[in-house]
């Protein structure tokens, strides 16, 4: 049977259609230049390349593949930025699109469905809750109002270190002191009192520590969803459940205590109000325009512990570590502080303003040891073109602040500890200089940096004013162990041990 001539048109149209599709998809992918990627394995992608110190492994990979890389962690595409220019492109040029957060199942369970600020995805809810935190809990005025708490707790720490010297004159664990200092300050500021673990059925101190640890865990189920069952076998799910329940019981009791106290006591001075008081006051929405649900209130309180305690004491521990390794920097700092203190036993926050070398020491330490070296992961909400590369929506974004702080394109002799580089320099960590971003930048930048810095400045000034520090006998500065721990907040692997001898001028205080 002979086919009519027009029957040939059908296969011809099909052929043209596929040719058209092939041509356009190929040229589109060519137009969509993807960032360089290290070779990946099936299923796990590049997970095996992270190792125990992801910031270091990613830095190594970036030396080979460049400052903008695309990795795959399990099934998740992950953009890794390792230069100031790439960080600026993410946190300034494309800040809006790069301001969401990837889903974290542990964060969801512990923080009431990620109703806190740090884990909440970008959107109206996050905007409201962040503004509650920025305007009502961490405004300059509010931070100032807790000055007496910081000064009292710093003075308590100094006294405890002195007593330890009186009783043994030997090596002390500085981490324990720094950790108690920040925990006590955050507890008093957020909850109104210190919790040493003996107050209630639940040991709040232990539970809050476990909470911090759980948030730092790498959860394989978030990257390879069909492997989520592993968490049941390892007991992680049970632990998260237990901590979530204990935290809730604890927070409910704190809120109840505040509510009944506030019924009896009609008026409290601004300085006497803790975060729970402030949040209960704005709960009805009169100040904010939106009511604050109870779960949001609890999530906000937890955020201050999750984001504020480990990061702050870790900074202080790295600062004193570097000063012990660099005796000349320690001496210069002591000269500045003691010169300005003029024999005063206690340095107050008023004295800090002129301590330029002290501020430089803190910046230099944060450059080399940003406590959160990969910042907190973000996620893109739309496709973007970033420094010429196509980045798809829902790509996770990691910014390697640790690598950026050591980039020879941004810093002379980057591996050298030299606080002097910040004297007569405008470079700051406020989010405008992308070569120094220990607190991140842009919409998602850390709202607690002012709080954290004043705690560190005050503690450091008082420590070096009152004590002479030395390493335990037999350890030379250059031999001090600098191994890092592996968690979201990177502190020293082993606690810092040192001898703190009271300075002779204050021996009787
Ligand atoms: C030295 C101490 C601290 C360091 C190094 C630090 C560092 C950071 C970093 C790197 C981020 C992510 C920024 C980004 O993605 O751009 C962050 C976010 C955050 N920090 Fe801090 N932080 C510190 C202290 C604090 C304190 C004391 C508080 C509160 C009392 C706090 C509350 C927060 C919150 C709520 C977020 C989430 C912000 C958001 O997602 O909108 N931080 N911090």
Please write the tens of the pLDDT for every residue from 236-273.
Answer: 999 999 999 999 999 999 999 999 988 887 767 766 78
Give exposure, 393-421, as e/b (b: 16+ Cβ within 10 Å). eebbbbbbbbbbbbbeebbeebeebebeb
Contacts of 410 (CB under 8 A, 6+ apart): 83, 84, 404, 435
CA atoms within 13 A on the CB side of 393: 3
Q: Tell whether ligand 1 has an atom less than 6 A from the beta carbon of residue 375.
A: yes
pLDDT in tens, 87-132: 999 999 999 999 999 999 999 999 999 999 999 999 999 999 999 9
Whose Cα sits closest to atom 8 in ligand 1? 439
Kindly report the three-state secondary structure assignment for every residue of 349-394: HHHHHHCHHHHHHHHHHHHHCCCCCCCCCEECCCCEEECCEEECCC
Beta strand segments in 407-506, E: 467-470, 497-502
Q: What's this model's pTM, rounded to 2 decimal places?
A: 0.92
Q: How far is the CA of 268 from the centre of ligand 1 (A)?
A: 29
Q: How far is the CA of 419 from the centre of ligand 1 (A)?
A: 23
Size (the chain), residues: 509
Determine the pLDDT at residue 4: 56
Do β-strands 396-399 and 76-81 pair in parallel, antiparallel, or remain unpaired?
A: parallel
Q: Tell whether ligand 1 has an atom less than 6 A from the beta carbon of residue 117.
A: yes
Whose Cα sits closest to atom 6 in ligand 1? 439
Whose Cα sits closest to atom 27 in ligand 1? 308
Q: How far is the CA of 117 from the centre of ligand 1 (A)?
A: 10
Query: Within its chain, how far is the Cα of 7 from the centroid?
Result: 68
Determine the pLDDT at residue 26: 44
Token representation of residue 269: 């001075």
Q: Tell whether ligand 1 has an atom less than 6 A from the beta carbon of residue 304.
A: yes
Q: What is the DSSP string of 303-365?
A: HHHHHHHHHHHHHHHHHHHHHHH-HHHHHHHHHHHHHHHTT-SS--GGGGGG-HHHHHHHHHH
Whose Cα sits closest to atom 42 in ligand 1? 448
CA atoms within 13 A on the CB side of 174: 27
**Which residues of the chain fall short of a pLDDT of 70?**
1-31, 197-201, 267, 270-271, 506-509
Determine the pLDDT at residue 340: 96
Contacts of 496 (CB under 8 A, 6+ apart): 173, 174, 175, 317, 320, 321, 324
Token representation of residue 143: 């931070």
Residue listed under structure tokens 């470079």: 427
Q: How far is the CA of 51 from the centre of ligand 1 (A)?
A: 24
Task: State the greatest distance between any 2 C-alpha atoms of the chain, in Å, as a whole number.
Answer: 116
Q: Tell whether ligand 1 has an atom less than 6 A from the beta carbon of residue 130.
A: yes
What does the alpha-carbon distance between residue 90 and residue 295 come to, in Å, rounded to a whole number? 31
Q: Is 503 annotated as a binding residue?
A: no
CB 392 within 8 A of CB 383: yes
Q: Tell whether ligand 1 has an atom less than 6 A from the beta carbon of residue 67.
A: no
Q: Tell whether ligand 1 has an atom less than 6 A from the beta carbon of residue 500.
A: no
């Amino acid at each position: 049977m002979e086919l009519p001539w027009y029957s040939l048109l059908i296969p011809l149209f099909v052929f043209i259609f596929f040719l058209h599709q092939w041509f356009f998809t190929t040229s589109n992918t060519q137009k969509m230049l993807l960032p360089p990627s290290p070779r990946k394995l099936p299923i796990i992608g590049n997970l095996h390349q992270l190792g125990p110190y992801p910031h270091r492994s990613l830095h190594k990979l970036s030396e080979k593949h460049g400052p903008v890389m695309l990795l795959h962690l399990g099934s998740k595409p992950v953009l890794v930025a390792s230069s100031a220019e790439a960080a600026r492109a993410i946190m300034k040029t494309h800040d809006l699109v790069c301001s969401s957060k990837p889903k974290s199942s542990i964060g969801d369970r512990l923080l009431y469905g990620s109703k806190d600020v740090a884990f909440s995805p970008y959107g109206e809810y996050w905007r409201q809750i962040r503004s509650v935190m920025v305007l009502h809990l961490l405004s300059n005025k509010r931070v100032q109002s807790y000055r007496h708490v910081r000064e009292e707790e710093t003075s308590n720490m100094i006294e405890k270190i002195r007593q330890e010297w009186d009783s043994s004159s030997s090596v002390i664990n500085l981490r324990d002191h720094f950790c108690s200092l920040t925990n006590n300050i955050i507890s008093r500021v957020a909850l109104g009192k210190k919790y040493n673990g003996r107050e209630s059925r639940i040991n709040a101190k232990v539970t809050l520590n476990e909470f911090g640890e759980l948030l730092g865990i790498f959860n394989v189920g978030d990257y390879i969803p069909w492997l989520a069952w592993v968490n049941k076998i390892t007991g992680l799910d049970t632990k998260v459940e237990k901590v979530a329940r204990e935290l809730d019981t604890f927070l409910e009791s704190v809120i109840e205590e505040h509510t009944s106290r506030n019924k009896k006591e009609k008026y409290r001075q601004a300085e006497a109000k803790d975060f729970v008081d402030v949040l209960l006051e704005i709960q009805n929405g009169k100040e904010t325009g939106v009511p604050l649900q109870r779960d949001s209130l609890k999530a906000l309180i937890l955020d201050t512990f999750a984001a504020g305690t480990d990061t702050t004491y870790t900074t202080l521990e790295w600062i004193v570590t570097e000063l012990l390794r660099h005796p000349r920097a320690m001496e210069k700092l002591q000269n500045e502080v003691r010169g300005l203190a003029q024999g005063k036993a206690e340095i107050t926050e008023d004295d800090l303003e002129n301590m330029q070398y002290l501020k430089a020491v803190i910046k230099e330490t944060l450059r080399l040891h940003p406590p959160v070296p990969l910042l907190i992961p973000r996620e893109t909400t739309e496709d973007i073109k970033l420094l010429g590369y196509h980045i798809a929506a829902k790509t996770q974004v990691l910014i390697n602040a640790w690598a950026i702080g050591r980039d020879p394109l941004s810093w002379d002799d980057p591996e050298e500890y030299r606080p002097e580089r910040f004297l007569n320099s405008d470079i700051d960590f406020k989010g405008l200089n992308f070569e120094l971003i220990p607190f991140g930048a842009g919409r998602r930048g850390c709202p607690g940096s002012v709080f954290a810095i004043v705690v560190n400045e005050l503690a450091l000034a008082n420590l070096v004013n009152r004590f002479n520090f030395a390493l335990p006998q037999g350890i030379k500065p250059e031999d001090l162990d600098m191994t890092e721990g592996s968690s979201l907040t990177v502190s020293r692997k082993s606690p810092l041990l040192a001898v703190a001898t009271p300075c002779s001028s204050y021996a009787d205080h």
